[in-house]
Chains A and B, each alone.
Chain A
């Protein structure tokens, strides 16, 4: 009976550790994606602005 209790405790501890690892990994992956998305968004808007500036300049000189 005691050995069953010990096994159950081991099982609980193991599941707890794996859950924490899963949690941390999910968080890490989500943040990586968000950071990449932010980076792309910022770069696209920067590029868009620079294109608009070039267009304005082009039409003004024409």
Chain B
């Protein structure tokens, strides 16, 4: 049973690795969006000066 528990934990961690990759991509997307949108705002309000 000890080995099967080990393999189950290993599989969990393997899946967790994929999930953490995925969430990193999501967070990066949010940051990219913030960069783009804030750049637009800076440009828009910069031109008016």
Residues of A in contact with B (beta carbons under 8 Å apart): 2-3, 5-6, 9-10, 13-14, 16-17, 20-21, 24-25, 28, 31-32, 35-36, 39, 43, 47, 50
Shortest A10–chain B CB gap in Å is 6
How many residues of chain B get a CB closer than 8 Å to chain A's CBs?
A: 24
Q: Is A39 in contact with B8, judged by CB distance below 8 angstroms?
A: yes
Q: Is B31 in contact with A35, judged by CB distance below 8 angstroms?
A: no
A-B contact pairs, 12 of them (CB 8 A): A2-B45, A10-B38, A10-B41, A17-B30, A24-B30, A28-B19, A28-B20, A32-B16, A32-B19, A39-B12, A47-B1, A50-B1
Residues of B in contact with A (beta carbons under 8 Å apart): 1, 4-5, 8-9, 12, 15-16, 19-20, 23, 26-27, 30-31, 33-34, 37-38, 41-42, 44-45, 48
